[in-house]
């Protein structure tokens, strides 16, 4: 349970209709199997002890009493299992029969939660047999124990901070105002649903979307366990479509039309972080809110994580979704720049074209913006500024890109100007320190700015979000522009955007140049080449961008602490990077992220394209002199 992870299970055994003794046996076996896998929260379907399809047999005392007796058996035979368990059965209270979820743990019944919204249409006639459940809890005697009975019950545990479980039953979820809404606003971070949802054509997709969007809307985990084979097929078929969702993402689901178990690791801390971020998610945690809160115990054991974390969280793994994402991002970038040109009335752009990935993407976006605005591409002035580190490969690619796009190309060799500058400030050209590098970067920016003044143009920024996060930009050099089109795009995504454009541009010559740009090592080209080849490779100096983008996403978007990021990075990059390498670059990431905030505090305008951004005007309002001591203390404990 360290780091807020909790293993949960939605379990559907194969039952017999109206045979509680048999059903209790298969439920016990299923519970034990889920517990063996490490599940600490186990959910079984609606009315699983009897079967959902008993019809008028629910009016028989024999069935009702047997179900109660078998519940006692299940509780007794799972008493040594360290888990909170939900199981469905019919239960008589004060002369009325209710469709109930029993919640129990360590041989202690914690709550009975009745179904509130009873269907009474087409194939479902629950009102014939059951009464609508009450909201506020009353207490009922069960085997000599007074147990709360009602819908507004929350089960809480201190095993994980923020772990609070609410329950609804099947149809409750499908209503306009489901009980889960109030439960979540009262503090529930996990909603369980004991269901018996029949299968019809197209229903599975609707059900999946309903569960997914409910977990997203309520910023919660949602565990859905549904009836399957074993139920009567007299008129209906039940598919056992079990699902576990977390904040809009389906973490696990079972194959339909067979009994099965869905198991997943949910992240309670992540959900709590999302709720803190979402200011419109207003909880109702007040003493008299009408909810009954019941505690339950769980051992604080280590969760054996089976959950996967994408190595590139900014890049969809599915090819079709990745293409859609690339098209959308290019549209956001180009429409943002188009608006800036409509506002200013200008018709010219100046862009420093190095032949590298970032400036190539910026040129693509500028071309698209000009096309959208009906402006002549000749108004795009692509400037190459060779100096001490420039290679023929990047220079030639820059030239060919400008020609292929129909832009104006200008070459300004800045070597003479930089040498004059070194002489002016007394810097020895043989000293290849940061002064040597940044002198070139700032000279390039001065050239771009002055050409923009001369041509009545905007300077288009090329730097990406990953560089900004690491501070890998020369202050008032490539750090500065008049509109930074790539400011919201991480480096791992830049590559895919350029590749997508190469695949879809319909110009084979242009695509060939773009593919060579993609194959070129990432470099600022500020140090002299070695044998004509790039000598300065960025990822050798600051670390692999796939690691840094991973760190960036889970720090800013998920709010994870350094030890949690390290844990999931080791899991995700197993076989690619060892623990020592990951820790080395994680420490580098935090050191640079905190030290370089001053560069992000004065960023030019630029469009946000995803859920992570570093603009000081919106997503990252962080002091430039904030201490990293608390984060460093955690890093120092890692090994």
The structural domains of the chain, with segments of one domain joined by +, span 2-295, 319-637
| Kind plus residue range of the DSSP H or E element containing 352 | strand 349-352
- Distance of alpha carbon 430 from alpha carbon 528, whole angstroms: 11
The DSSP secondary structure of 609-632, one letter per residue, reads -SS----TTTT----TT---HHHH
Q: What is the C-alpha to C-alpha distance for residues 307 and 265, in angstroms, rounded to an integer? A: 6
**Among 78, 79, 10, which Cα is nearest to 44's?**
10
167 is catalytic: no
Q: Does the annotation mark 170 as catalytic?
A: yes
What is the structure's pLDDT at 524? 66
The sheet carrying 5-11 orders its strands as 138-142, 145-149, 108-114, 96-105, 84-93, 41-43, 5-11, 261-267
Q: Hey, CA dihedral for 598, 599, 605, 610, is it positive or negative?
A: negative
Alpha carbon of 162 to those of 77, 285, 370, 560: distances in Å?
A: 29, 13, 50, 15
What is the model's pLDDT at position 525? Answer: 63
Percent with pLDDT over 90 in the chain: 84
Arithmetic mean of pLDDT over the chain: 93
In the set 54, 164, 170, 407, the catalytic residue is: 170
Bridge partners, residue 88, by sequence: 101
Write down the architecture of domain 319-637 according to CATH.
3-Layer(aba) Sandwich (3.40)
Which residues of the chain carry a pLDDT beneath 50? none
Q: What is the pTM of this model?
A: 0.90
Query: How high is the pLDDT of residue 198?
Result: 85
Instruction: Note the pLDDT of residue 257.
Output: 84
CB 613 within 8 A of CB 563: no
At 147, phi and psi to the nearest 5? -120, 135
3-state secondary structure 49-110: CCCCCCHHHHHCHHHHHHHHHHHHHHHHHCCCCCCEEEEEEEEEECCEEEEEEEEEECCEEE
Q: What is residue 23's predicted lDDT score, i.e. its pLDDT?
A: 97
Distance CA 609, CA 40 (A): 38
Give the N- to C-terminal CA distance of the chain in Å, as an integer: 20
Residue-level pLDDT at 259: 78
Q: Among residues 7, 27, 40, 46, which one is catalytic?
A: 46
Active site residue 395: no
List, edge to edge, every strand of the sheet that includes 221-226: 249-253, 243-246, 221-226, 190-195, 164-169, 153-156, 292-295
Q: How far apart are CA 206 and CA 479, in angstroms?
A: 47
Structure tokens at 366: 């500028």
Those residues with Cβ within 8 angstroms of residue 142's Cβ, 6 or more apart along the chain or in another chain: 109, 112
The pLDDT assigned to 300 comes to 87
Contact at 8 Å (CB) between 222 and 193? Answer: yes
Among 110, 115, 269, 491, the active-site one is 115
CATH code of the domain made up of 2-295: 3.60.110.10
Contacts of 573 (CB under 8 A, 6+ apart): 311, 547, 550, 582
Question: What is the CB neighbour count within 10 angstroms for residue 63?
Answer: 20
Residue with tokens 């070139």: 440
């Amino acid at each position: 349970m360290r780091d807020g992870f909790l293993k949960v299970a939605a379990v559907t055994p194969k039952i017999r209709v109206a045979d509680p003794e048999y059903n209790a046996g298969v439920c016990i076996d299923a519970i034990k199997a889920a517990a063996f896998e490490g599940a600490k929260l186990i959910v079984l379907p609606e009315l699983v002890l009897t079967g959902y399809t008993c019809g008028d047999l629910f009016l028989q005392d024999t069935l009702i009493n047997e179900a109660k007796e078998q519940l006692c058996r299940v509780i007794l035979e799972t008493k040594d299992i360290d888990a909170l368990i939900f199981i469905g059965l019919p239960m008589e209270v004060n002369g009325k029969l209710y469709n109930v979820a029993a919640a129990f743990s360590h041989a202690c019944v914690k709550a009975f939660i009745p179904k509130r919204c009873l269907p009474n249409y087409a194939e479902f006639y629950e009102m014939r047999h059951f009464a609508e459940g009450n909201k506020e809890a009353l207490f009922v005697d069960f085997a000599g124990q007074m147990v709360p009975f009602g819908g507004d019950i929350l089960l809480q545990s201190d095993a994980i901070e923020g772990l609070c479980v609410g329950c609804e039953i099947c149809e409750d979820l499908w209503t306009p105002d489901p009980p889960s809404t109030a439960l979540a606003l009262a503090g529930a971070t996990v909603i369980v649903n004991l269901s018996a949802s029949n299968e019809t054509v197209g229903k599975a997709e609707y059900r999946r979307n309903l569960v997914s969007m409910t977990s997203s809307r309520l910023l919660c985990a949602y565990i859905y366990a549904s009836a399957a084979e074993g139920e009567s097929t007299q008129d209906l078929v039940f598919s056992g479509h079990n699902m576990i969702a977390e904040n809009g993402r389906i973490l696990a689901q079972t194959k339909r039309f067979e009994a099965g178990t869905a198991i997943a690791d949910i992240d309670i801390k992540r959900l709590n972080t999302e709720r803190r971020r979402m200011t419109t998610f207003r909880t109702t945690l007040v003493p008299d809110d009408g909810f009954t809160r019941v505690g339950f115990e769980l051992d604080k054991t280590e969760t054996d994580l089976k959950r996967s974390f994408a190595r590139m969280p900014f890049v969809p793994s599915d090819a079709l979704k990745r293409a859609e994402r690339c098209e959308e991002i290019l549209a956001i970038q180009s429409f943002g720049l188009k608006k800036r040109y409509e506002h200013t009335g200008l018709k010219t752009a100046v862009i420093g074209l190095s032949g590298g990935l970032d400036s190539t993407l910026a040129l693509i976006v500028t071309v698209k913006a000009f096309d959208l605005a009906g402006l002549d591409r000749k108004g795009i002035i692509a400037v190459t500024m060779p100096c001490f580190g420039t290679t023929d490969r990047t220079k030639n690619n820059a030239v060919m890109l400008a020609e292929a796009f129909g832009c104006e190309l200008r070459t300004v060799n800045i070597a003479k100007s930089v040498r004059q500058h070194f002489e002016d400030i007394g810097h020895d050209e043989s000293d290849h320190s940061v002064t040597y590098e940044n002198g070139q970067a700032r000279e390039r920016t001065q050239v771009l700015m002055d050409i923009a003044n001369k041509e009545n143009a905007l300077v288009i920024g090329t730097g990406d979000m990953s560089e900004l996060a690491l501070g890998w930009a020369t202050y008032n050099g490539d750090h500065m522009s008049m509109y930074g089109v790539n400011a919201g795009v991480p480096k791992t995504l830049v590559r895919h955007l350029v590749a997508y454009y190469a695949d879809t541009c319909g110009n084979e010559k242009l695509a060939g140049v773009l593919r060579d740009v993609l194959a070129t090592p990432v470099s600022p080209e500020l140090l002299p080449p070695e044998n004509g080849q790039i000598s300065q490779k960025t990822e050798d100096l600051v670390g692999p961008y796939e690691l840094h983008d991973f760190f960036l996403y889970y720090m800013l978007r998920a709010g994870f602490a350094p030890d949690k990021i390290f844990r999931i990075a080791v899991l995700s990059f197993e076989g690619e990077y060892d623990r020592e390498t990951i820790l080395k670059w994680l420490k580098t990431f935090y050191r640079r992220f905190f030290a370089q905030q001053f560069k992000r505090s004065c960023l030019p305008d630029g469009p946000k394209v995803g859920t992570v951004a570093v603009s000081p005007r919106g997503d990252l309002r962080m002091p430039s002199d904030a201490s990293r001591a608390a984060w460093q203390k955690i890093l120092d404990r890692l090994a």
